[in-house]
Amino acid sequence: MILILALILLALLIFGPQFYVRHVMSKYSGQHERLPGSGGELARHLLDRFELKTVIVEVTEHGDHYDPITRAVRLSRENLEGRSLTAIAVATHEVGHALQHAEGDAMFEVRSRMIRVATLAEKAGAIAMLAIPVLALLSRSPVLGLVTLLVALASFLSATLVHLVTLPVEWDASFGRALPILTRGEYINKGETRAVKRILRAAALTYVAASLTSLLNLGRWISILRR
């Protein structure tokens, strides 16, 4: 019974944030004729307003994000072209990251470096996982296999931890920047504020949800190696 409860809690921990993010984004994705422009148009307007004309806005197939290397706000097609509360809130959240970058926000800079390191670590972990059976067979040393496994585990966990510890940066992009921009600039009305807050909260939790589900990849690798 305790094991079943533990598994249920683990499932809620891993899938709960992801389900919440998807549910909120979908709930407020309906088109609003009242809105004067799309998410992409609002992003371009805000970047120009804050004198970030060199930052581009483009479509992506890999999730909404701001790329500090190419200085690009990338939005999914539905958020780039859509006139929904989700589209404008997500677009403004990503513009919030562009503002953090432009202002030299210390936490944003740390986050960017950590994510680059975590990405490399995750790739190294995948290589290490693939190398374990080969090294164990060639060396016939269980110690070498164990060390390689520990390195792989550490690399996967580092990627998860990076996303968790950078939550304050996401929270600032949503509530320190995007929400004041949308409310003070009257891009949304008072009746829409509660919904936009929920969307911005979901936007801030996107990386947390992704990092938790990445633990499943680690579980899959372990199950493969046990066969």
Q: What are the residue numbers of the active site?
A: 94
Tokens of 104: 């030299």
72 has which bridge partners? 56, 67
CA neighbours closer than 13 Å in the CB half-sphere of residue 198: 16
Shortest CA distance to 107 belongs to which of 171, 169, 159? 169
CB 94 within 8 A of CB 42: no
Other residues' Cβ atoms within 10 Å of the Cβ of residue 36: 12
Phi, psi of 109 (to 5 degrees): -65, -45
- Strand ranges across the sheet with 65-67: 56-59, 72-75, 65-67
Tokens of 101: 């970058």
Amino acid at 188: I
- What is the distance between the alpha carbons of residues 110 and 121, in angstroms, rounded to a whole number? 16
Give the three-state DSSP class for 65: strand
Could you report how far apart the first and last alpha carbons of the chain are, in Å?
Answer: 27
Shortest CA distance to 183 belongs to which of 72, 73, 97, 85? 85
